[in-house]
Amino acid sequence: MRDLPVRRLTVSDFRRIEGTREFPLDAPIVLIHGPNGTGKTSVLSALELALTGSIRSMERSSPRYRAHLPFFGQPYATVRVDVAESLQAGNPGQPLTVGGARTEGTPAFSTSAAQFYAERCYLDQASLSRLLDLYQDREGSNQSALEKFVNELLGLEKLDALRDGLREALDLRVLKKLAIGVDDADREAKAAAAELKKQTALLAECRSEVASARTALRETIAGLNHGGGGAQRETDQALLGYADALRHDTSTRTELEDATRRQQELIALGGRISALIERPTPQRLEETRTALAATATRRKEWEATSGVEIQAWEAAAEAAGANLQTDLRSAIEHAKNVAAQKLRSDLDFHRQTESVRTDLVSGQAELDAVQTRLTEAHEHSSALMESLTAARAVAVESNRCPVCDRDFAETAAHNLLAHIDGKLADLATHGQQLVVLRQDRDNLVARIARAEVELTQLSGTLLTPDQRQSIEGRLTTLTELAVQVGDIELAKSYGKDLERAERDLQQTLDDLEVATLEEVHISREIAKYADVLRAAVPTTPDFPAVLNELRDHAEAHVDRLKGKAEQSKKAVEQAALLVKALERDSLIGRQVVDVVEQKKQWEDRFGEAKRRQGVAKEVHEAASQARTAIVHRVFTESLNDVWKSVFTRLAPDESFIPRFGIPTAAKKTFDIKLETIHRDGETSGPPQMMLSAGNLNTAALSLFLALHLAVEPLVPCLVFDDPVQAMDEVHVAQFAALVRLLSKQNERQVIIAVHERELFDYLALELSPAYEGDELITIELGERAEDEDGGITRHLWAPDIAVVN
C-alpha cells in the first residue's frame, strides 16, 4: 500500500459541524456527499486550515474570516489532521485552535508543503468558476498566480538570478554604484589626469622661473666680473658657488664701512677748517690774558675780606644749629623757630608739672580723710554687730533686755527680737556705705598713682637750667645772624660771579692757545686723506678748496663700493630665488612622476573593470539565449501538451482547445496570456470568449490539473469541492476516468466532495476498488451521519463472484 499524504481529520465545532467528528482519509480515493448545508465545504475548509493554517478562498473575501469559523454559539473551533511523516511540521498530532482573530497551534504541513497544497492540490468550489480570472489577476506590479506557476515550472530561478546579477553590469553607470572601487577608480583616474595637467602646467611655470632666475644671476655675476663673459656658460652649481662666496665675503662691506667713516671724518675736518678760518687774532689772545689776571686779583681781594667774614658767619650759624645746605635765610629762620619751640615746650612742661603736683597733694589729703572715715565706721559697725548678735541670742528666748533687765514691751509696741533685727538691718545698710567708701579710697589710690607716673614723666622732659641757658644763648645768636644774612648773601653771590668769570676766561684762553696749533694738524690730516684716496691735490693754503676735492674723491669711492655691495646682495638674493625655484622644480617633478604612476594605476583598475563588464555582457547574452530556448521548449512540450491532454479527455468534442500564448523570453517576468486554438491549427480568442460555461469550467479544471501534473508533486494529493457542477453525463464519465487515472497511474490521493446523490453513487461505482489492496472511502453527511457507522464506509476490493465462477 502506497504512502498516503493525508490520513485522518478531526473536527470540533467548525462552521456547520457541531461537536467532534473524525473522518478517516487514508484511502487512495475519498468521496464526500451531503445535501446543501450539511458541511461538505466545512470538512474541506477544516482540512485546508489544519494542513496550511489558513483558508485562502475565505481570506480573499475577508481578512477577519477566522472570527466566523467556530460553530454558531461556540467560542472556538478545533481541527487536527494526521499526515505522512515526510510532510509533518512542528509537533505531529497537535490540534489547531481558532477563535476570534487569533489562531493557536502549528499547521500539519511545512511551509513549502502548505503552499504547494494551497496552490496546486486544493480546488475549492468558489474558485472553480473564476479560476482563470484568479490565475491571471495581479496586484500592482506583483506577478499573477499563473506567472508564478509558470516561472516555477520553467525552473529559471538560477538562470534569472544570473541574469539579474549581471544586468547591473550592462550599464557602466550602474556598475560604478554597485561594484566597490569601480566608481572610485574612474573618478580617481579622471582626477589624476586633471592633477597631471595641473602639475604639468606648474612644472612648465616653475622651469620658466628657474630660467629667469638663472639668467638674472648670470648677468649680475658678470657685472661683478666674477667669471667675466664665461659666466654665461657656467652651470647652476658654479653660479650658486659664486653667490655663496659673495655671501661669505666681508671685504666689500668692510671697505664700505671704512670709506663711509672716512667721508664722515672729512665732513668733521671741514668743520675744523671753518673754525680755523674764524680763529682769533694775537690781540684778542692778549686781551683775554689781561682780563683773566684782573679777575684773579679781584677774586683774591674778595677772599681776604668778604670771604673771611662769610666763613666766620657760617661757622657761627652752624654752631647755633643752622643747616646751611639750603638757603641761608631759610636755614637761620628754621633754626630760630626750633630753639623758640623748645623754650615754649619747656615752659608748658613746667606748668603741667606744677598742676600735676597740686593734684597729687589734694588727692593725698582726700585719701587720708576717706581712710579715717573708713576706719572709724568699720570699728563702730564691728562692735555693734557683736553686741546685737549676742543680744539677739538672748532675745530669742525672752523679751527682756539683757542690758537694763526690763521688759521691752513696756517701751515699744513690738518685741525685742524684732527691734534687734531692725538694728541689724540698719547695720547691713551701713555695710553698703562701707563698700562705697572702699571704692572711693581705691579710686583715689589709682588717681594718685597715675599722677605720680605723669609727674615722673614730666620731670624727665624738663630742661635743666644749663640746657635752657644754652638754648636761650643760641636763640640770641641766631637773631643777630638773621640781621646779617642779607649782606652775607650779597657778598657770597659776588664771590661766585668772580669765580665763574675767572673760569670762563681761563677756558677761552685755553681755546685760543689750542687754535694756534690747529693749522698744522689740519695740513697733516689733508695729506693723510689725499694719500689714502690716492688723490693728487695742490699744495695750497686754501684748505676749503682742497677739502672739497677730497670730499668728491671720497664720495665717488663710497658710491662705487655701495654699487658693488648692492650687486653682491642682489646676487645672493637671486641665488636664493634660483635655489628655491630649483627645489620647487624638483618637488613638482617628483609630484608629476607620482601622479603619472597614480593615473596609470587607476586607469589600469578601471580598464580591468571594463574588461570584466565585457565578460559579464557575454555571459548575460548567453544566459538570455539559453532562457529563450527553455521557455519555448517548456511552453510547447510541457504546459500546453499537458493542458491539451487533460482538456481533451474531459471535453473530447470541443473544437477550441485552450492553451498558453508563448510569451517573450527576454523579460524576467512573463506577461502570460491565455488563448484558444482551433483543431485546424488557427489561433482564436481567450477561453472566456470561445468556450461555453460548462467547457470553461472544464478548461479551468484541466488547467488546475495540468499545473499540478507539470511539476514534481511536493504533496501527491488532489482535493476537489464539487468539481462536476454544470457537467453533462459525458463530461462526468470522462472526469471519473481521469480521476481513476490520477489515482492508479499517477499515484495521487484524490478527495472529492459531491452534492448530487446520483453523481455520488455513479462516482462511487466508477471509482470502486479494482484490484487487491485498492480501497475507497465514502463519507455521507446529513441524516446518514447519525447512523452507527457515522455515514463512513470503507470499500475494499473483493473478487467478482460471477467472474470467478
Look up cell 488563448; give the residue.
Answer: 675
- Check residue 271 and give its pLDDT: 63
- 43 within 8 A of 17, measured Cβ to Cβ: yes
Per cent of the chain over pLDDT 70 is 61
Tell me: the pLDDT tens digits for 457-503? 766 666 677 767 667 667 677 777 667 777 776 777 777 777 788 78
CA distance 556 to 141: 102
- Check residue 122 and give its pLDDT: 92
pLDDT at 634 over 80: no
Tell me: the pLDDT tens digits for 360-414? 778 788 777 777 877 776 666 665 665 666 566 655 666 666 666 666 666 665 6
- Check residue 226 and give its pLDDT: 47
- 81 within 8 A of 5, measured Cβ to Cβ: no
Gap between the terminal Cα atoms of the chain: 28
Look up cell 694756534; give the residue.
Answer: 516
CA distance 776 to 28: 7
Distances in Å between the Cα of 341 and the Cα atoms of 327, 354, 467, 695 are 21, 20, 14, 157
Strongest mean pLDDT among 171-180, 246-255, 395-404, 429-438: 429-438
Q: Which three cell numbers stand for residue 212?
A: 629667469
Q: Which range is least confidently modeled, 1-15, 363-377, 546-560, 697-711?
A: 546-560
CA distance 176 to 185: 9
* Band of residue 229 on the pLDDT scale cut at 50, 70, 90: very low
pLDDT at 579 over 60: yes
CA distance 690 to 643: 16
* Band of residue 779 on the pLDDT scale cut at 50, 70, 90: very high
pLDDT at 766 over 70: yes
Distances in Å between the Cα of 331 and the Cα atoms of 336, 471, 493 are 9, 17, 17
User: CB-based contacts of 536: which residues, under 8 Å, 6+ apart?
Assistant: 530
Strongest mean pLDDT among 95-99, 125-129, 196-200, 415-419: 95-99
Tell me: the pLDDT tens digits for 584-612? 777 877 877 887 887 777 777 767 667 77
- Check residue 517 and give its pLDDT: 57
Mean pLDDT in residue range 316-337 = 70
* Band of residue 718 on the pLDDT scale cut at 50, 70, 90: very high
Q: pLDDT averaged over the chain?
A: 75
- 778 within 8 A of 789, measured Cβ to Cβ: no
Tell me: the pLDDT tens digits for 117-175? 998 899 888 887 777 777 776 665 566 666 666 666 666 667 777 777 666 666 666 66
Tell me: the pLDDT tens digits for 503-519? 887 787 676 666 655 55
- Check residue 60 and give its pLDDT: 84
- Check residue 410 and give its pLDDT: 65
Give 96's strand partners. 79
User: CB-based contacts of 336: which residues, under 8 Å, 6+ apart?
Assistant: 475, 478, 479, 482
CA distance 590 to 199: 10
Mean pLDDT in residue range 698-725 = 87
Position 225, amino acid: N
Could you give the dihedral angle defined by the CA atoms of residues 719, 722, 723 and 728, in that order, rounded to the nearest 10 degrees?
Answer: 150
Q: Residue ranges of the alpha helices (H) in 663-728? A: 687-690, 693-709
Residue predicted with more confidence, 181 or 749? 749
C-alpha Rg value of the chain to the nearest Å:
75
Mean pLDDT in residue range 534-552 = 62
Residue predicted with more confidence, 664 or 612? 612
Beta strands in 588-723 (DSSP E): 656-660, 674-678, 683-684, 717-721
CA distance 415 to 395: 9
- Which candidate, 129, 114, 113, places its Cα nearest to that of 55? 114
- Check residue 546 and give its pLDDT: 65
DSSP state of 281: P
* Band of residue 191 on the pLDDT scale cut at 50, 70, 90: confident
Cβ neighbour number for residue 647 with a 10 Å cutoff: 26
CA distance 506 to 257: 40
Mean pLDDT in residue range 39-52 = 91
Q: Which range is least confidently modeled, 106-120, 278-292, 629-643?
A: 278-292
Mean pLDDT in residue range 64-81 = 90
CA distance 574 to 214: 8
* Band of residue 8 on the pLDDT scale cut at 50, 70, 90: very high
- Which candidate, 349, 270, 196, places its Cα nearest to that of 548? 270
Residue predicted with more confidence, 449 or 284? 449
